[in-house]
C-alpha cells in the first residue's frame, strides 16, 4: 500500500505478489532487464526492485504526472522512469540502448487515486471538472471533446467502449444539453446519463459504462494496449515472460486474443511434403490465468474484476 497525492488518497496494488511471481525472477535472471508498463503508485515497481540483483534494471512507464512525481522519489540507480505510454516501449527503450528485456508487466486501467481525486474527472461519484486525461499535460479533455464531437461519433464511442445499449439516447441527450450549456463537470454528465438510461443492472450506477467509454477513448487505452503488446513481444528475450492485468472485458479480450494467436501453431497444407522438423512452432507458451483471492477482494473490492494472463516467449530448450 502506498500513500499518494493528495496525502489522504490510498492505493492498493492489485495482484502484487502474484504478478512478481509470474515474471519468475530466478537467480540467473535477477540481473536482467524488466519493464513495468504502468508505474501507477509504484507497488509493483518497488516489489520488483526488491527481487533484482545489483546489476538488474527496471524501466517503468506512466502517462500520469502524479505517478511520475512519485516515481522520481525512488533513489535507485537500477530504476528508470519514462513519462509516456507503454505503447512507446520500443522507441523509448531503444533510445536508452535497451533492445531486449527479460520480463514485462502491464497493469491496465486506472488507479484508485485517479478515481478518488475529484479534480481528475474520472468518477461520477465525485463532482469535479470533466477531464479524464491520464496525462494532464497533453491531449483533449473529455469536456472539450464532448463540446464539439458529432453525435454519431459520441454514440459510437459509448457503444463500442462502454457496451452501453442506451448509447443512442445518451449521445442525443449530450448534444441537446450542450446546445443549452457546456457539459463541464462530472456531475452534469452523470445526471444527464441517469436521465437517459431507463434501466440498469442491479447495484451499478447508470453512468458507469458511459464514463468508462469516454475515458478509454480520451486516453486511447485499447489502441495503446494493442501497440504495447506487439512491442512487448518483440522486446522479450527467449523464455522471457509477459504478465498483463486487465480490469474489464474489452481489455482482457485483446490480451487473450493476442496471447492465443502467438501460442497457436499454424497448420500447413497437408498436401505439401514438409518434414516434422520444419513444421511451424508456436511463438509463446500460455502459462496461467490468475484472479485475486477472496481475501484480496475483501480487502480491496476494486480488485474483483482483475484478471492476469501470463505467457512466455518460446526460446531454445534450456
| More confident site: 153 or 26 | 153
Cell numbers found for residue 54: 545489483
* pLDDT score at 242: 98
- Residue 73 is labelled as binding a ligand: no
Query: What would the mean pLDDT of 57-81 be, rounded to a whole number?
Result: 96
pLDDT of residue 104: 98
pLDDT at position 2 is 36
What is the greatest pairwise CA distance in the chain?
A: 71
Structure confidence by residue, pLDDT tens digits, 243-257: 999 999 999 999 999
Domains 2-107+221-313 and 139-219 share a fold: no
> Which comes out higher in pLDDT, residue 276 or 90?
90
pLDDT of residue 276: 56
102 in a known ligand binding site: no
Cell digits of residue 34: 524488466
Task: Determine if residue 162 is labeled as part of a ligand binding site.
Answer: no
pLDDT at 271: 63
Task: pLDDT band for 9, please (50, 70, 90 cuts).
Answer: very low
Instruction: List the grid coordinates of 162.
Output: 462502454
pLDDT category of residue 236 using cuts at 50, 70 and 90: very high
Q: What is the pLDDT of residue 235?
A: 98
For helices 43-51 and 16-23, the axis angle rounded to 10 degrees is 40
Tell me the whole-structure pTM to 2 decimals.
0.89
Q: Above 70 in pLDDT, residue 200?
A: yes
Percent of the chain with pLDDT over 70: 91
> How confident is the model at residue 195, as a pLDDT?
93
Cβ neighbour number for residue 84 with a 10 Å cutoff: 15
Written as nine digits, the cell of 295 is: 481475501
Predicted local distance difference test score (pLDDT) of residue 318: 40
Q: How far apart are CA 231 and CA 86, in angstroms?
A: 9
Q: How sure is the predictor about 317, in pLDDT bands with cuts at 50, 70 and 90?
A: very low
* pLDDT value at 5 more than 60: no
Q: What angle do CA 13, 314, 279 make, to 5 degrees?
A: 145
For residue 174 the three cell numbers come to 449530450
Q: Is 281 annotated as a binding residue?
A: no
- Candidates 86, 82, 97; CA nearest to 33 is 97
Is 107 known as a binding-site position?
yes
Q: Is 62 annotated for ligand binding?
A: yes
Tell the CATH topology of 2-107+221-313.
Answer: Rossmann fold (3.40.50)
The domain over range 139-219 is classified in CATH as 1.10.150.170: yes
Tell me the C-alpha distance between 208 and 197, whole Å. Answer: 11
Q: Nine-digit cell at 86?
A: 507503454
- Where are the chain's structural domains? 2-107+221-313, 139-219
Q: Where does the pLDDT of residue 277 fall: very low under 50, low under 70, confident under 90, or very high at 90 and above?
A: low
**Quick one: three-class SS letters along 22-64?**
HHCCCHHHCCCEEEECCCCCCHHHHHHHHHCCCCCEEEEEECC
Q: Which residue has the higher pLDDT, 192 or 6?
A: 192
Where does the pLDDT of residue 280 fall: very low under 50, low under 70, confident under 90, or very high at 90 and above?
low
Q: What is the pLDDT of residue 226?
A: 98
Separation CA 155–CA 171 (nearest Å): 5
Q: Known binder of ligand: residue 42?
A: yes
Residue 64 has pLDDT above 60, yes or no: yes
Q: What is the mean pLDDT of residues 43-57?
A: 96
Residue 202: predicted pLDDT = 76
Amino acid at each position: 500500500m502506498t500513500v499518494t497525492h493528495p496525502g489522504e488518497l490510498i492505493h492498493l496494488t492489485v495482484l502484487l505478489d502474484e504478478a512478481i511471481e509470474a515474471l519468475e525472477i530466478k537467480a540467473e535472471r535477477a540481473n536482467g532487464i524488466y519493464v513495468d508498463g504502468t508505474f501507477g503508485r509504484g507497488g509493483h515497481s518497488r516489489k520488483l526492485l526488491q527481487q533484482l540483483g545489483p546489476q538488474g534494471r527496471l524501466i517503468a512507464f506512466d502517462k500520469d504526472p502524479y505517478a511520475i512525481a512519485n516515481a522520481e522519489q525512488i533513489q535507485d540507480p537500477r530504476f528508470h522512469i519514462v513519462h509516456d505510454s507503454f505503447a512507446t516501449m520500443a522507441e523509448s527503450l531503444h533510445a536508452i540502448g535497451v533492445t531486449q528485456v527479460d520480463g514485462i508487466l502491464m497493469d491496465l486501467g486506472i488507479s484508485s487515486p485517479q478515481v478518488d481525486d475529484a479534480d481528475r474527472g474520472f468518477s461520477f461519484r465525485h463532482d469535479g471538472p470533466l477531464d479524464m486525461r491520464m496525462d494532464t499535460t497533453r491531449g483533449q479533455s473529455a469536456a472539450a471533446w464532448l463540446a464539439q464531437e458529432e453525435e454519431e461519433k459520441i454514440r459510437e464511442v459509448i457503444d463500442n467502449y462502454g457496451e452501453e445499449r442506451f448509447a443512442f439516447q445518451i449521445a442525443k441527450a449530450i448534444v441537446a444539453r450542450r446546445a443549452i450549456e457546456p457539459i463541464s463537470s462530472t456531475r452534469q454528465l452523470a445526471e444527464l446519463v441517469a436521465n437517459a438510461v431507463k434501466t440498469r443492472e442491479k447495484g451499478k450506477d447508470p453512468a458507469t459504462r458511459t464514463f468508462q467509454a469516454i475515458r478509454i477513448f480520451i486516453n486511447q487505452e485499447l489502441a495503446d494496449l494493442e501497440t504495447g503488446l506487439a512491442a512487448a513481444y518483440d522486446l522479450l528475450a527467449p523464455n522471457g515472460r509477459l504478465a498483463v492485468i486487465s480490469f474489464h472485458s474489452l481489455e482482457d479480450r485483446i490480451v487473450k486474443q493476442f496471447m492465443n494467436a502467438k501460442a497457436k501453431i499454424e497448420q500447413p497444407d497437408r498436401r505439401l511434403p514438409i518434414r516434422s522438423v520444419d513444421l511451424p512452432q508456436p511463438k509463446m507458451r500460455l502459462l496461467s490465468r490468475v484472479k485475486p483471492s477472496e481475501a484480496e477482494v475483501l480487502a480491496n473490492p476494486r480488485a474483483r474484476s482483475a484478471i492476469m494472463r501470463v505467457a512466455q516467449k518460446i526460446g531454445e530448450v534450456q
